[in-house]
Structure formats: structure tokens, C-alpha cells
Amino acid sequence: MHKNTKIIIFLLSAILISCSNCDLKKEQAKNKQANEALTLSASYEKVNENDIESYRFDVKAKRNKVVEGEYFPSSQTIALTITDEYGKMLYNSSMGTMFMDIIETVYPENISEEHTYSIIWNGKDMKGNHLPNGKYKAMLLLPAIPNPYATDIEMEIE
């Protein structure tokens, strides 16, 4: 067999193995999410909130199984963290904010039901400066007890 043919066969094999590993990882992530009590999916859109250009993040939660004793330990039912492409935290909705000490229900309560949690962000960092155009990651947390739920979404400011 010619040397170049062997190299091409090797490269094709490596690509096929890599692709099947991607499919395996996707399937494992899907199975892991199905085993979670809540399956989360995130989205965002640019909105005009009180005449201020802002972003609304929605987290749709679907109940897969009931967790006895699950609750939110305060009035905070969703938290947002914005990071840049290097992972540097630029904004955290929990910093400098006080929440009431009350027990809140984690919705949805029943299997197969869905509930949407939302949070508005004004596009500014923690110092009050508008973030420049670019790509960012929004990490969304439902701070439930005994187990919090988290998801993230890539976003772009234009």
C-alpha cells in the first residue's frame, strides 16, 4: 500500500472516531439531562425595558422527576452571570442585591409540566459601563435547595 494511501486511511479513521465521539458525548449529555429533576433550555432577546435597551433571558424548566423538600431559600429564583470569551466575570445579578429570606416553590412542581423563569439585564457590567459589541456567555442559575440547576447560552451584543 502506498504511504499516502495509509495516511489518508488513518486520517479518515481519526475523523470517523472523532465524529462518533461527538455523537456519544451528545447522547451522554442528553441522558444526563433526562436524569436531572429539571431539564433547562435558555434563550434571550433584545428588549426595550423602561426605554432602556436591555436583554431578557428566559429559562424554560421542564420537570422530569419530583424532588422532595426542594425549594428556593430566598426571593431569588434566577441568577445571571455574564462572562467574556476568556471566562472573566463582567456581571453578576446577585452581587450587591439583597433578597428576602422566604421559602419559594420551585416550579414546575409536577412531572412533564413546564415553567419559564426570566431575568432582565441592561447590558452593563458591574461598574455600570455598557459592554462593547462582541460575544459573551450568559450563565443562568436556579438556586434551588438541595440541588441548584444551571444552564448557559452564548450571546452576541451588536
Could you read off the pLDDT of 23-52 as tens digits, one per residue?
544 444 444 445 699 999 999 999 987 778
Confidence at residue 2, expressed as pLDDT on a 0 to 100 scale: 53
8 A C-beta contact, residue 142 and residue 119: no
Of 138, 51, 49, 133, which Cα lies nearest the Cα of 91?
Answer: 138
CB contact at 8 A, 136 and 84: yes
pTM above 0.85, yes or no: no
- pLDDT tens figures, 128-148: 999 999 999 999 999 999 999
Closest CA to 77 of 62, 94, 65: 94
The answer, yes or no, to whether the previous bond of 108 is cis (omega within 30 of 0) is: yes
